[in-house]
Structure 1
Amino acid sequence: MIFQALKQNIDIEDSVFNKLFSTRNRRLAERHWTPVAIAKIAADYLVNKPNKKVLDIGAGVGKFCLVGAASTKGFFYGVEQRASLIKSANKIAEKHNIENVKFIHSNITEISFSDYDAFYFYNSFFENIDNSCPIDKTIVPKSELFISYSDYVRNQLSKTPKYTRLVTYWSTWEEIPESFDLEYSELNGVLNFWRKMS
């Protein structure tokens, strides 16, 4: 029902979509998971032609990828280091027969960006410098990880081809190479749309 609505471009409230998650993951939604409306806008920009391979850098419970896969003709890949979140995301994808999505249990530093065409980043590294709302206790926050992860992403993005698209949501821009130009912003600069121009 939810995914059929998304396929038909019918708006879905976050309170409805978030019922797909466990009670615990539902409680984390407002702080950690991309709102449906934002996911749709971002996915639409990233999938500017069919079959684009989009990587969600720090997919969490998979909300962005699930929405993007249902509402576009792209393929969505979410990398996430927490096994429990990958399990939850996979369960939802399988139950609702969403075939153009894949969740990868890995650290971002193990991922080569050359395998993907476009990128989404909802500041998944911020938990290392702000522990006011931890996802769980399996990851020990360290400020140096924020820096090293951001450096890794910036380095990988700098190697992508010209015209590569990137969307950032609540980002500090630490991870964005100078070769990417800001095309436009929404939500008072919280949601940003980038394209590599050099």
Structure 2
Amino acid sequence: MLLQTLNLVGIAVFAASGALVGVNKRLDIFGICVVGATTGIGGGILRDLLLGIHPPTSLDRWPSITVAVATSIVVSFAHPALSKVWNAVILFDAFGMGLFATGGASIALDHGSSALGAVLVGATTALGGGVLRDMLVNEVPLLLHRDLYAVPALLGAAVTVVGDALDVPAGAAVIAGTILATGLRLLALWRSWHLPRAIGQN
């Protein structure tokens, strides 16, 4: 129950971030909902498609899509006030990323994925919604920027997989991976850490 609740919180936060992008791109309310909902549940849909779960859980069960769309509608009307709590949105976005990375890896393991496959599925769950969002609004995906986002997701998923291999209780492995991924993401934002560019580029 706790993981399901946290999953819905993560969907809401990701949907809010996507809806804010839609607002900034001056989309109408339908466009805002499409971008917001895609950001919120896109990673989970990609995860389920990779694992052969049909139909995808986010489309087959009403809470996920409902939370994503409702959050997008709220953002379309309340976006001026959200700028005042943007730091909180960033915090929850980092937490959602960590949770989706570890949760995705755990689900992949439950469906018989190899260790490598589970790590990649976990990272895809965490990053997929943002990539789809950026594609919808014709932006270079954040995944391809210097921003430290993919690396924390991969490490968080890897901790979950290693914990499973060592017979660590699944909940403990997910919590540890989530803390690592979230903490590294927030630390990178605070310290302005970036991956290096190609040699000769500033």
Instruction: Specify the structure having the higher radius of gyration (Cα).
Output: 2
TM-score (norm 2): 0.32
TM-score (norm 1): 0.33
Task: Please identify which structure carries the higher strand content.
Answer: 1
Task: Please identify which structure carries the higher helix content.
Answer: 2
Return the structure number with greater relative CO, CA threshold 8 A, min gap 6.
2
